[in-house]
Amino acid sequence: MNFIVETLQMILLTIYYHIEAFIKLFIPPKLKDLSGEIVLITGAGSGIGRLMAIEFAALDVSLVLWDINEDGLKETARQAKEKGGSRIYYFQCDCSDRAVVYRVADQVKREIGDVTILINNAGIVNGKKFMDTPDALIEKTIRVNSVSHFWTYKAFLPAMIAKNHGHLVSVASSAGLIGVNGLADYCASKFAAVGFAESVALELIAEGKDGVKTTIVCPYFINTGMFDGCGTKWPRLLPILDPDYVAKKIMKGILTDQVYIFLPRTLYFLLAVKCIVPFKQSVNLGMYFGAFSFMDAFKGREKKQN
């Protein structure tokens, strides 16, 4: 194809996709049927992972729960069963350890089957300034929050590609879109998670595997205990998010094949502004929204961090 033809095609598709997106604003999206799917959630022992497990428990799925905290897994499994889940399996797994991920993944494939919905949700935060953070904690944060996704994809994506069926979900963070004072290693890990998920999504499109869907979730601080002590300067613009609300939004996003989920919607505006304003103005806006003081009173989950 020559330049003129490809340019005209690009313009026509641009118009079409914008019209399509506008129409979808007024048409409720169709929910897909998850009956028979095998859903694996990492970091399922608490927080959003547990809440998502409970959401999935009401559906006709096989639910596979991973976490390093076995007691937390047992509690999640118990609550999921109370909500109607009948096929629930849990495995203690340190997602930061590649060998452990591969070993437990092989066990899941032997005993349960090929995972068709993979939700990378496990995450940690230390909340220290970069120069105050021990090297071991930096490495741990990167391994858990981003590198672990490499190993879970390697383990479960081949079967999805072979069948051209599946769904990859990355629960990242707004800190994977915009840098935050006091969260250098955490932001780095979440930027990596977002970039990795986007790149694999493009690889799937290039290979014609449109049956394997992808969803990237970037929420602001969630009231799960992970960011205990953190505040927000303007709660009407950037509220601390309710965990149940976030879990339901993620669930709806999966059921409707939503590619990006940014919570709250203010993030769409902030991300767009970040790309067009001068750097000094972005710093000014950061000060206005309180980004320089989010972590001042950080406590986090003390037991988890220790």
pLDDT above 50 for 306? no
**Rounded distance between C-alpha atoms, residue 306 and residue 300, angstroms:** 10
Where do we find the tokens 């033809």? 5
- From 44, 25, 149, 167, select the one nearest 96 (Cα to Cα): 149
Tokens encoding 285: 């806006």
How much of the chain, in percent, has pLDDT values that exceed 70? 97
- From 188, 249, 242, select the one nearest 215 (Cα to Cα): 249
pLDDT above 90 for 172? yes
pLDDT at 1: 61
**Rounded distance between C-alpha atoms, residue 76 and residue 46, angstroms:** 7
Neighbours of 15 (CB within 10 A): 10
- From 275, 161, 176, 268, select the one nearest 216 (Cα to Cα): 176
CATH code of domain 31-305: 3.40.50.720
In tens, the pLDDT along 72-111 reads 999 999 999 999 888 999 999 999 999 999 999 999 999 9
In tens, the pLDDT along 212-240 reads 999 999 999 898 877 877 778 777 888 88
What ranges do the domains of the chain cover?
31-305
For residues 67 and 49, is the Cβ–Cβ distance under 8 A? yes
Longest dimension (CA), the chain: 62
The model scores a pTM over 0.75: yes
For residues 36 and 59, is the Cβ–Cβ distance under 8 A? no
pLDDT above 70 for 248? yes
Question: What is the residue type of 78?
Answer: R
Tokens encoding 180: 């935050």
For helices 135-142 and 184-206, angle between their N-to-C axes, nearest 10 degrees: 30
**Rounded distance between C-alpha atoms, residue 232 and residue 267, angstroms:** 14
**Rounded distance between C-alpha atoms, residue 266 and residue 28, angstroms:** 22
SS3 130: helix
pLDDT at 303: 47
What is the rounded end-to-end Cα distance, in angstroms, of the chain?
59
DSSP 27: S
C-alpha distance from residue 19 to each of 16, 23, 30, 31, 297 (Å): 5, 6, 18, 21, 46
pLDDT above 60 for 185? yes
Catalytic residue numbers, as ranges: 186
- From 293, 187, 195, select the one nearest 238 (Cα to Cα): 293
**Rounded distance between C-alpha atoms, residue 184 and residue 133, angstroms:** 10
